[in-house]
Amino acid sequence: MTENCLRDDCPGEGTGVFDERGHCDECGHHRDAPAAPPPPADDLFPPFDDEDTNEFATVFIDPVPPDSQRRCRKNHRVGFTSDGRSGPLVGLCEECAEPFDFTNYLQAGDVVAGQYEVKGCIAHGGFGGIYVAHDRNLDNDVVLKGLLDPADPAAQAIVEAERRYLVTVKHPNIVDIHNSVKHRFPDGAEYDYLVMDYVRGRSLGDRAHPARLGRHAVAPITAAGFALQILDAFAYLHGYQLVYCDLKPGNVIQSGDRLTIIDLGAMRRINFAGGSIYGSRGYQAPEIEREHLPDAVSDLYTVGRTLAVLALGFPAAQLVGDEVQETPLPERPPNFNESLYRFLQRACDHDRDARFATADEMADQLHGVLRQLLADAGERPAPVASDRFGVERGAFAAGLANRTDTVFETARGAAARTVLPVPLADRADPAYTALATIAMQPPDRAIELAESLPESDESRLALLRMAIEADAPETDRLFAEAAARFGADWRLDWYRGVRDLGRDPEAAAGHFRKVRAHLPGELAPMLALAVCTELAADGAPAGLAQAAKQYEQVRRTDPTYTSAAFGVARCSADPAVRLTALEGVPAASSQYRAAQQALVAERVRRGPDWETIVAAGANLANLEGLDALQADLARAELWRAALAVIGPGLEDPSRRIDGVPLTAAAMATAYDAVLRRIAANCDSPLTRWALVTEANRNRPRTWL
């Protein structure tokens, strides 16, 4: 069994392995050696300010690469000894006989190209030392990145590539290159150095980074923010047909609130067949080992792995036998956000066809996940329109029950078919405009018109949706045609779920889970799954509690999803949670009055006291514009409940509800009047008689 080195100062970032003598093959420390001193306590809190990063002291190291980083041209380990002593700096590789020479390196005080005065070495890059130098001409510090072996054609090609690409790449999250210079050593050897910005800050691979929790994982919100900056840079690169290839935490520096991607030596053209392909085990896409040329999809895999390593705090690679292999994505830890985990599963899928296809698509879903993370943390992210789904077409099961022992009508799956959001149509589709008009027609007429449209992707999908909502007999045939036309398409999974809502909520949930896995930043599939959970619960308290939790996740992230608010109000066993959900329906929503009406019912139907009656009166005042009969029904409920709880000392003629003084006589008069108005509009003689009888029973007695 192998043991990984987890020292904070190990360059292997958790991938170093202790050999049989107990020494790490990356940093050389013995497993029993004292650990690096911990950072100050204040540094454990994420992330730091600009002022803090500028104060980080530059730590210079020995310019001679350590044993663990000495490699020949063919990537074999050289210059090391098995007994722990320093190995030779010059010689031949024992495996391939390639020469190596690590004796030429810059010293503090050396001047390169007559302009750059070396201060010291700060790191050993994959192809040479990295130095801080002072630019005498511009009076600022820069970084010099050099080659270990100028005779190595592969290393020379990398420098040429980095120089060629960097001078054209200009993005705020990518390091700037200023120049390319040469330096001749006393033995006549001439080395190339790239001159680039000196980015102060800390590497994301630094285990002492202030954003790390317990010095292993980074808070998910912070990690997602990091990944979004990286994705912005990758979208830029991919737009120029370039791929970075070697993203990992150690190649990203944080300075203030900005990340900078450094070390572009592995960057290349998309699908370029020449040259060597470089990457880091544990981050590189698995298809690269199968000789697939790097492209945008493989590049985005490195972003997913980087985010996973940061957010979950696990080593990217591990030694299995004699081979270093990628560490599988760990199981989702308790309390780790489900949407973020699903995002990581898709981003790190070994099936490249299942991954995100573009940086913009990946960023769009991660933005949605980040909004959920912020909502979980108590923030109130502003609602953002989805580019995958339209808005809700109504509120699911928001109608009040006709009896007073419960608040809402029973939720029925078939009703959800016509209120859940619909996947957005492609505006470029030739049928787009006609479909917008057809949507206003009655279902049967809409299906007839859709069938008459010229065949297109969107006309076929719209026809399928309409057939599902109308429960038309041709639905199964349309599904078969769509499957042949679209293949594995998340929209078909969505419509399969919608179809099954009225039949089998557990089967519907299976389809919606596929959509959620594909689009982890979207709220529509989360809402649909909450509906499925409520329907499958069939009144069972445990199932309803789970549904309430799912509805609340949607409502908290975006209050404009009013079906989620009503779902919480139906399913939660906590009165305060139910009231909060209904009160959170925005005043600008078309469902606002329905929510206020539900608040009245919630307060007066569940064992009211005088304070809840007064609170319900405030909701009654917000029913302006509601259908007159519905408003009168709410008034009747309130006055009936108020008359049942009012007692000595509670009357207060100075306070009013709906213009009625809070006295028993005044409220009884109001109750009598509203019952008679309702009765006057009632078609049923029996119901009308019952209402008038109730009015007479509660009508105040007078001598007049």
Q: Looking at the predicted structure, is the pLDDT value of residue 704 above 60?
A: no
A 10 A CB-CB count for 338 gives: 16
Q: Looking at the predicted structure, is the pLDDT value of residue 21 above 80?
A: no
Query: Please, which residues bridge with residue 111 across strands?
Result: 117
The stretch 330-344 carries a mean pLDDT of 97
The stretch 652-667 carries a mean pLDDT of 92
CA nearest to 342, candidates 518, 181, 189: 518
169 and 255 assigned to the same domain: no
CATH number, domain of 85, equals 3.30.200.20
- pLDDT digits over 383-410, tens only? 999 999 999 999 999 999 988 889 999 9
370-379, 516-525, 654-663, 692-701: which range is least confident on average? 692-701
- How does the average pLDDT of the chain come out, rounded? 87
Name the pTM for this structure. 0.85
How far apart CA 633 and CA 601 sit, in angstroms, is 10
**What pLDDT was estimated at residue 63?**
80
What letter would DSSP give residue 337? -
432 within a domain of the structure (yes/no):
no
A 10 A CB-CB count for 184 gives: 12
308 and 361 assigned to the same domain: yes
Residues 6+ apart with CB under 8 A from 530: 547, 550, 551, 554, 564, 567
253 and 117 assigned to the same domain: no
181 and 264 assigned to the same domain: no
626 within a domain of the structure (yes/no):
yes
Whether 252 and 302 have beta carbons less than 8 Å apart is answered as no
293 and 187 assigned to the same domain: no
Greater pLDDT, 465 or 607: 465
CA nearest to 499, candidates 533, 456, 528, 522: 528
328 and 255 assigned to the same domain: yes
388 within a domain of the structure (yes/no):
no
The residue range of the domain holding 111 is 67-197
How far apart CA 366 and CA 360 sit, in angstroms, is 10
Looking at the 3D structure of the chain, how many domains does it have? 3
15 within a domain of the structure (yes/no):
no
Locate 158 and state its tokens.
């990398």
285 and 142 assigned to the same domain: no
221 and 335 assigned to the same domain: yes
Q: Which H/E stretch holds residue 48?
A: none
At 126, the amino acid letter reads: G
CATH number, domain of 235, equals 1.10.510.10
171 and 79 assigned to the same domain: yes
561 within a domain of the structure (yes/no):
no
Last residue of a domain, one of 134, 164, 197: 197
142 and 278 assigned to the same domain: no
- pLDDT digits over 119-139, tens only? 999 887 666 788 999 999 999
How far apart CA 250 and CA 11 sit, in angstroms, is 9
Last residue of a domain, one of 145, 165, 197: 197
347 and 231 assigned to the same domain: yes
Greater pLDDT, 289 or 42: 289
Which residues belong to the active site? 246
253 and 365 assigned to the same domain: yes
**What pLDDT was estimated at residue 194?**
84
106 within a domain of the structure (yes/no):
yes
**What pLDDT was estimated at residue 543?**
98
**What pLDDT was estimated at residue 86?**
66
Calculate ∠ Cα 509-513-518, nearest 5°. Answer: 155
CA nearest to 105, candidates 80, 70, 74, 141: 70
At 543, the amino acid letter reads: G
- pLDDT digits over 278-323, tens only? 899 999 999 998 889 999 999 999 999 999 999 999 999 998 887 8
Last residue of a domain, one of 164, 197, 230: 197
The stretch 445-464 carries a mean pLDDT of 91
**What pLDDT was estimated at residue 108?**
92
102 within a domain of the structure (yes/no):
yes
CATH number, domain of 649, equals 1.25.40.10
Ordered DSSP codes for 594-658: HHHHHHHHHHHHSS--HHHHHHHHHHHTT-TTS-HHHHHHHHHHHHHHHHHH--TTT-EEEEEET
